[in-house]
Amino acid sequence: MKAAFYTLGCKVNQYETEAMTELFRKSGYEIVDFDDYSDVYVINSCTVTGRSDMKTRQAIRKARKLNIDSIIAVVGCYAQIAPEEVLEIPEVNLVIGSKGKGQIVELIDRLKKLKINKLNAVHDILKDKNYEELEISTQIEHTRAYLKIQDGCNQFCTYCIIPYARGTVRSRKLNNIIDEVKRLSHMGYKEVVLTGIHVASYGQDLGDVGLLDVIKRVHEVKGIERIRMSSIEPTFLTEDFIKEVSQLRKFCRHYHVSLQSGCDQTLKRMGRRYTTENYREIIERIRKNIVDVAITTDVIVGFPGETNQEFEETYIFLKDIAFSKIHVFKFSKRRGTKAYNYPNQISNAVKTSRSKRVIELSEQCEIDFYKRFIGRKMDVLFEQNVKGMDGFIEGYTDNYIRVAVPGDIRFKNCIIPTTLKEIKKDMVIGEIVEGK
């Protein structure tokens, strides 16, 4: 039997696809490409924007064309938010939401055994209080492993569908996290990225443990050389937390601190729990304690009621903070969230032009950040050949500078001191320090 996977959305989804892949493999399935003929197609969906839902539907149609007799399972956030809508799609046989991915193989067996065409296995996620344990021992990316440490979010920002799709905070047991890190280290991974829906909330439901404990315990695992954090809410970054992690050699000097808007009125309407002034202080705190730190962020443009004046405030704030990269998202209204019914929705044309300006600013910010390191010697963890640049291999510094050097795949998964020479588009061309 063959199984194929298609993943949309965030790193948590990617992690969960890996875990499901391992379950299928252990049950004797051969894993094939999503473009190939398969007996089972699993689509791990996302619902963060309307576009994500559309991509899921496209993947469903594609799977059916590849094998009209296959079983098509749609799992994840879109299935969780709209199980009936997804199951009504004629091609779909099984829906599983955010919980129950660990039972996917059994559910498919049940479908086959009972010879039924449709099965809804979606649970009420807001009632769920326990973390669903899923495990991985390997990942598609071969040098950096994404490690899921928690699920859910209790913040209920007014634009965000995630708490309804993922439920409230459930944290993974610390011992299970460490066992997985040891397995990953044993497989040769040198870098782990602590991933979750709201990593800062880690431990809230467990009581006696927090994110700092996770970081410290992962830091002790032999073979792991780098620990990165996927994204963090600004309010969590206390002086104590920053000081403690700045002492940990393996903790990467890279913070992705979600901003979402640089205008206080917009932040308030978004239901974010900080002001621009708080945010600025937090960034200063990080920069004071961590030399050469890279600070990246997310921003949403075109939130309902965002006037030109409000957008300009955001733009100026972004420029002022001097991020090393800005990820921009156009507001997408999601049914079930408060902002869905907010007045003064912004036209797509305005969102597009604001987004374009932020993308241009981000490109400039990245260049300005890279410039500071030209001529410096930095450790680079090499990952893969550079697409479209024969004879070059690329990797990242701990503060997330993308570096390419002449070399081949033998450098892969090695951390090598490299001199940063010149900026080329979105990367820096470097030279391996002689004798290394």
Q: How far is the CB of 191 from ligand SF4 (least distance, A)?
A: 24
Residue among 302 and 430 whose Cβ is closer to ligand SF4 = 302
Please give the angle made by the CA atoms of 257, 263 and 269, to the nearest 5 degrees.
90
Number of residues engaging ligand SF4 in binding (CB under 6 A)? 10
Task: Kindly tell me which of 77 and 136 has the beta carbon lying closer to ligand SF4.
Answer: 77
Give the nearest distance from C-beta 156 to ligand SF4 in angstroms.
Answer: 6
Give the binding range for ligand SF4 (CB under 6 A) out of 16-24, 133-141, 151-159, 356-364: 151-159
Residue 160 or 290: the one with the smaller Cβ distance to ligand SF4 is 160
Residue 403 CA to residue 288 CA, distance in Å, equals: 26
Least CB distance to ligand SF4 at residue 159 (A): 7
199 vs 358 by CB, closer to ligand SF4: 199
387-426 residues in contact with ligand SF4 (CB under 6 A) are none
Q: How far is CA 354 from the centre of its chain?
A: 24
Contact call for residue 227 and ligand SF4 (CB under 6 A): no
Q: Give the one residue of 56, 155, 276, 355 binding ligand SF4; rule: CB under 6 A.
A: 155
For ligand SF4, the binding residue among 163, 234, 302, 407 (CB under 6 A) is: 163
**Residue pair 171/214 in contact by the 8 Å Cβ criterion:** no
The CA–CA distances, whole Å, from 358 to 232, 234, 301, 316, 433 equal 21, 20, 9, 10, 36
Residue placing its CB nearer to ligand SF4 in the complex, 167 or 395: 167
Q: Looking at 156-164, 279-287, 391-399, 417-425, which segment touches ligand SF4 (CB under 6 A)?
A: 156-164
Instruction: Report if residue 149 touches ligand SF4, rule: CB under 6 A.
Output: no
* Cα distance between residue 115 and residue 180, in whole Å: 37
Q: Is 37 in the site for ligand SF4 (CB under 6 A)?
A: no
Contact residues for ligand SF4, defined by CB under 6 A: 153, 155-157, 160, 162-163, 197-198, 233
